[in-house]
């Protein structure tokens, strides 16, 4: 590519990232609307409060009815950032398996997450998986043992109500962009990345994030959560204990609990894979606070990783590890539940009304009515 054109492309990409960052900092979040939550968040109240974690998005929006409507994308979560090839301890759990998260067989057996966690739509898992292999080879070459192979972790939720999911609009370059533009700092939420065309409790859903900072007496560790939420019925939605779904009416989208939710949990607490699997299980309790019962048609799949113990995957002799005693893990469990609950609500608050395939429209959760419902039940924080 000629240098002047390349420079224009780079400037364009930088402008997109800057715009997304500005939006991430200025859009109201659940706490801004007076939703009360338990626990103390980190400075950003995002998964990137865990040092080293980076998040990137590619958002694809084009076309209107009757033409195919593209409402989809890719989200990338990099545990140690895009410049690192150091694996992290990880564990995963599926509450209901009507969905996909590739690479988890090796996560289960090895205890390591090697590379990023990618999230996209159901029918784009393959192209994103292959793109991650190509990206990792380009940026990091062979692994520490000299092998040029990879088993990427790529998860999905179905966006076919709003998106032309069978048009296969996600391309390798979209995965590359999400990875190359991944960053720390504020995380874009709502109709972005893999969450672009998603629906949550029959309101517009998408990407949400939150974090919790443990008290110093519990180690001062951070737990961060990122969700791609595309599940649930309106009449089941509860926010801060309030039956918001019953209080706020809207057009019917589903007749059952269908969809999916993917949840990524990050922490700097020194946990080993068996402990991280236990952490991943606690995600279900956070979703339960918001009314989920994990229906048969939902793919509810979660992965948790720890950025502690750098170099643990090295083959250079015996490794010395740090591990939080099981008796001290309860604060991490609680932080996971709390951050999961808030991340979903943040996704609902950030999402905007969208019209997509076949003229389908999904409304955003109305902020004013949310506040009215919280006030009615004496749950409005301010």
Pairing type for strands 117-121 and 153-157 reads parallel
| Residue 46 Cα to chain centre, angstroms | 10
Q: What interhelical angle do 125-140 and 172-180 show, nearest 10? A: 50
Q: Residues 6 or more apart from 344 whose CB is under 8 A from it? A: 200, 208, 227, 229, 261, 286, 287, 290
What are the catalytic residues? Answer: 260, 298, 300
Cis ω for the linkage preceding 40 (within 30 of 0): no
**Calpha distance 212→329 (Å, rounded):** 14
**Calpha distance 13→8 (Å, rounded):** 9
Token pair of 9 as six digits: 């492309």
Q: Residues 6 or more apart from 32 whose CB is under 8 A from it? A: none
User: Strand pairing partners for 280?
Assistant: none
The 3-state DSSP class for residue 305 equals strand
| CA max distance for the chain | 62
């Amino acid at each position: 590519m000629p240098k002047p054109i390349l420079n224009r492309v780079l400037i364009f990409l930088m402008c997109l990232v800057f715009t997304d960052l500005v939006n991430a900092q200025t859009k109201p979040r659940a706490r801004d609307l007076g939703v009360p939550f338990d626990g103390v968040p980190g400075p950003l109240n995002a998964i990137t409060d865990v040092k080293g974690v980076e998040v990137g998005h590619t958002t694809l929006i084009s076309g209107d009815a009757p033409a195919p409507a593209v409402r989809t994308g890719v989200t990338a979560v990099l545990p140690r950032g895009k410049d690192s090839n150091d694996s992290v301890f990880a564990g995963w759990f599926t509450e209901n398996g009507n969905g996909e998260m590739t690479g988890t067989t090796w996560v289960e057996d090895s205890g390591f997450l090697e590379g990023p966690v990618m999230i996209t739509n159901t029918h784009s898992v393959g192209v994103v998986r292959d793109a991650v292999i190509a990206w990792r080879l380009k940026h990091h070459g062979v692994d520490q043992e000299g092998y040029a192979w990879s088993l990427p972790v790529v998860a999905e939720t179905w966006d076919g109500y709003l998106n032309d999911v069978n048009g296969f609009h996600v391309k390798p370059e979209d995965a590359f962009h999400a990875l190359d533009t991944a960053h720390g700092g504020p995380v874009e939420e709502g109709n972005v990345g893999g969450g672009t065309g998603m629906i949550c409790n029959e309101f517009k859903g998408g990407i949400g994030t939150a974090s919790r900072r443990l008290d110093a007496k519990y180690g001062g560790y951070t737990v961060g959560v990122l969700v791609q939420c595309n599940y649930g019925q309106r009449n089941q939605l509860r926010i801060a204990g309030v039956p918001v779904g019953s209080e706020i009416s809207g057009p019917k989208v589903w007749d059952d609990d269908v969809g999916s939710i993917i949840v990524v949990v990050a922490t700097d607490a020194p946990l080993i894979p068996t402990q991280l699997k236990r952490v991943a299980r606690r995600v279900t309790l956070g979703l339960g606070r918001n009314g989920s019962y994990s229906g048969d048609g939902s793919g509810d799949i979660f992965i948790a990783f720890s950025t502690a113990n750098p170099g643990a995957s090295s083959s250079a002799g015996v490794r010395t590890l740090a591990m939080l005693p099981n008796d001290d893990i309860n604060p991490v469990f609680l932080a996971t539940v709390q951050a999961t609950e808030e991340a979903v609500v943040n996704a609902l608050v950030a999402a905007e009304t969208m019209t997509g395939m076949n003229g389908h429209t999904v409304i955003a959760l109305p902020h004013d009515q949310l506040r009215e419902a919280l006030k009615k039940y004496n749950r409005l924080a301010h």
